[in-house]
């Protein structure tokens, strides 16, 4: 079914963050009303003016039933989205990525919210030969991936036990504006290029990722918030890009030569990752629009303005 912008109201946990702030901008442009729940630990600078926001931790959401009144869908983005953090602080990652997901699920179910969209990751699948699809048996290769697999399982459990229509969206490697706090390859490499500083490539540089622009992620989230789908959907571009190719694209967009330093692969890094997005296309009528080169150019332009480079 098509969603109605004039009546749709979504509660976005972690809404002040990278994906959340981009989602809020798109939602407002489409006539959707976003309500942000965020502990503001990463600041709120990226939120557009006029967005209703509440400085509330996800752990406290079950006690704030008032925030869920009249909400058509909960979009759960709050997380510790870092392989490195999960390796260093596995129990903290478990509580943030699994415990808070369950708390948000139960709060939504208890308040009678009809839809729940959970941000998952290709890391839930682990090392997979060929494109990752929804029927792949998850074999997470990292603590972070394991937390996402567990979060997907709780989405399924609460959906079946409480009648909440829940979907887990497995994002591939997302990049774009408002990513200042992220240490993922695209954002780090662009900042380093503009500062004329060297970058570190873990492994031989031939490992692949599926890079998707954040605006395409936001469009998919809105579509999933409005229409029954899932229970799991792969969200990417279906295009593999090596880290070497990423470096070359950033050099072209910035006009700067990147000095690359090599380091051993990190614990939990997968060798190859690309999504099969046909099911998302079939169920949501969604497909990515922003080509890799265009997305990198937009990201570079964003950082040039932010950094004055």
- The torsion angles phi and psi of 36, rounded to 5 degrees, stand at -95, 130
Strands 211-213 and 173-175: parallel
For residues 198 and 225, the answer to whether their CB atoms sit within 8 Å is no
CA distance 71 to 68: 5
- State the CATH number of the domain containing residue 103: 3.40.50.720
- When pLDDT is cut at 50, 70 and 90, the band that residue 266 belongs to is confident
User: Which of the residue ranges 39-43, 67-71, 96-100, 234-238 would you say has the lowest mean pLDDT?
Assistant: 39-43
Q: Quote the pLDDT of residue 97.
A: 98
Average pLDDT over residues 205-218: 97
Does residue 205 lie in a domain region?
A: no
pTM of this structure: 0.95
pLDDT in tens, 89-134: 999 999 999 999 999 999 999 999 999 999 999 999 988 888 999 9
User: Nearest Cα to 38, choosing from 23, 16, 20, 21?
Assistant: 16
CA distance 73 to 115: 4
CA distances for 197 relative to 75, 154, 205, 248, 254, angstroms: 37, 43, 18, 15, 13
Structure tokens belonging to residue 150: 């567990």
Q: What is the mean pLDDT of the chain?
A: 94
Structure tokens belonging to residue 73: 């869908």
For 156, the 3-state DSSP assignment is helix
Does residue 157 lie in a domain region?
A: yes
Does residue 247 lie in a domain region?
A: no
- When pLDDT is cut at 50, 70 and 90, the band that residue 2 belongs to is very low
Does residue 130 lie in a domain region?
A: yes
Does residue 246 lie in a domain region?
A: no
CA distances for 174 relative to 19, 59, 100, 160, 185, angstroms: 8, 26, 22, 30, 10
pLDDT at 1 over 50: no
- When pLDDT is cut at 50, 70 and 90, the band that residue 309 belongs to is low
Q: Quote the pLDDT of residue 6.
A: 56
Structural domain span for residue 50: 9-178+211-238+274-288
Q: Which residues are catalytic?
A: 144
33-34-38 Cα angle (round to 5): 160
Give percent above pLDDT 70 in the chain.
Answer: 98
305 exposure class (CB count in 10 Å sphere: 0-12, 13-18, 19+): exposed
Does residue 121 lie in a domain region?
A: yes
Q: How many domains does the chain have?
A: 1
**What CA dihedral angle connects 145, 150, 154 and 156, to 10 degrees?**
70
Does residue 304 lie in a domain region?
A: no
Q: Quote the pLDDT of residue 191.
A: 96
Does residue 107 lie in a domain region?
A: yes
pLDDT in tens, 19-41: 999 999 999 999 999 999 999 98
Strand partners, 300: none
pLDDT at 3 over 60: no
């Amino acid at each position: 079914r098509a969603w109605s912008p004039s009546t749709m109201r979504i509660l976005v946990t972690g809404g002040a963050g990278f994906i959340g702030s981009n989602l809020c901008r798109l939602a407002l442009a489409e006539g959707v009303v976003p309500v942000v729940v965020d502990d503001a630990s990463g600041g709120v600078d990226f939120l557009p003016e006029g967005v209703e926001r509440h400085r509330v931790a996800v752990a406290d959401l079950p006690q704030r039933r008032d925030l869920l009144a009249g909400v058509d869908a909960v979009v759960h983005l709050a997380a510790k989205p870092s392989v490195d953090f999960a390796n260093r602080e596995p129990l903290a990652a478990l509580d943030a990525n699994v415990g808070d997901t369950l708390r948000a699920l139960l709060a939504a179910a208890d308040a009678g919210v009809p839809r729940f969209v959970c941000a998952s990751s290709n890391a839930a699948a682990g090392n997979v030969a060929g494109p990752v699809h929804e029927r792949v048996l998850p074999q997470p290769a990292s603590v972070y991936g394991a937390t996402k697999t567990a979060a997907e399982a709780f989405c399924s459990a609460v959906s079946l036990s409480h009648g909440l229509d829940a979907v887990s969206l497995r994002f591939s490697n997302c990049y774009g504006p408002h990513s200042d706090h992220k240490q993922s390859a695209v954002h780090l490499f662009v900042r380093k290029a503009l500062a004329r500083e060297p970058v570190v490539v873990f492994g031989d540089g031939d490992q692949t990722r599926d890079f998707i622009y954040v605006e395409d992620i936001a469009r998919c989230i809105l579509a999933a918030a409005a229409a029954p789908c899932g229970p799991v959907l792969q969200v990417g571009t279906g295009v593999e890009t090596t880290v070497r190719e990423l470096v070359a694209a950033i050099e072209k967009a910035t006009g700067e030569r990147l000095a690359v330093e090599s380091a051993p692969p990190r614990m939990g890094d997968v060798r190859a990752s690309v999504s099969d997005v046909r099911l998302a296309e079939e169920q949501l009528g969604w497909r990515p629009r922003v080509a890799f080169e265009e997305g990198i150019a937009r990201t570079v332009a964003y950082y040039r303005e932010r950094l004055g480079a």
